[in-house]
Amino acid sequence: MADNGSAQSAADRTEQVRLAVYTRFASDGRAPRPAELATDVGRTPAEVRQEFRRLHASRDVVLDPHDGDRILMAHPFSAIPLGFSVMGARTLWWGGCAWDSFAIPHLVPAEPEVLVATACPGCGAALAWTVGRAAPPAGEGVAHFRTPVADAWPDVVRTCANQRLFCSTGCVAALVARDGGTRGYVMDLATLWRLARGWYAGRLDRGYVRREPASAAAYFADAGLRGPFWGLPTDGGA
């Protein structure tokens, strides 16, 4: 029965659905439902639903725990508001977190430059940056991430909800003083832009393979990140 070309492997079929999810999310700005994708991939909605579960297990998408037809996130895309909007020339997305919002212009071929907008969690001021591929955005601001990368996945929606952009380190301190939470990792806009630039590369291509921890560590170090928050040694001199 399993005969060369006609027998598409299970992994290939899952990858086909993953790619269709990402392609729709990139072009429409919203997550597709199984019934919409069934036509794209030539399968039944029930089969697509099954693939959603596999993709959730492999961390390629995040499903709503109460509704298996509903994709909440397919990083860097989000179907739920987490404090950011990302406006391209043709498409408007919820931006996920600071990292995800800055990643979208690097990933979506038709949208090389976007407007990322948010409100500072420290003081409420409206903040916006034009983010493109060539260089970090001009302007002030810092990113503050609360959850160390090793702990990011078990509650990834919460992790992303706490990766925000602020006016300044003073506004990060104001938030921490107010909510009594931990102060996490603070980086400037150029570091955030380098972190976002290549992290999701390949997700709109067939055969995407998730990054291994070792190559992730090298990538973080290249972006200018330091210390155990990123699974890296603490910087000796600086």
- Please choose, from the candidates 163, 164, 146, the residue with its C-alpha nearest in 3D space to the C-alpha of residue 229: 146
Q: Does 128 bind Zn ion (CB under 5 A)?
A: no
Name the one range near Zn ion by CB under 5 A: 52-60, 106-114, 121-129, 133-141.
121-129
Nearer to Zn ion by Cβ, of 38 and 116: the residue is 116
Q: How big is the CA angle at 14 (ends 9 and 15), to the nearest 5 degrees?
A: 95
Distance CA 79, CA 238 (A): 39
Distance CA 92, CA 27 (A): 9
Q: Give me 199's structure tokens.
A: 């992290």
Nearer to Zn ion by Cβ, of 138 and 238: the residue is 138
- Contacts of Zn ion in 64-83 (CB under 5 A): none
Are 148 and 229 within 8 A, CB to CB?
Answer: yes
In the complex, minimum distance from the CB of residue 217 to Zn ion, in angstroms, rounded to a whole number: 18
- Per DSSP, the chain holds a count of helices (H) and strands (E) of 8, 10
- Contacts of Zn ion in 92-111 (CB under 5 A): 96-97, 100
In the complex, minimum distance from the CB of residue 141 to Zn ion, in angstroms, rounded to a whole number: 9
Name the one range near Zn ion by CB under 5 A: 14-22, 41-49, 55-63, 170-178.
170-178
Interface positions with Zn ion (CB under 5 A): 96-97, 100, 120, 122-123, 125, 160, 167, 171
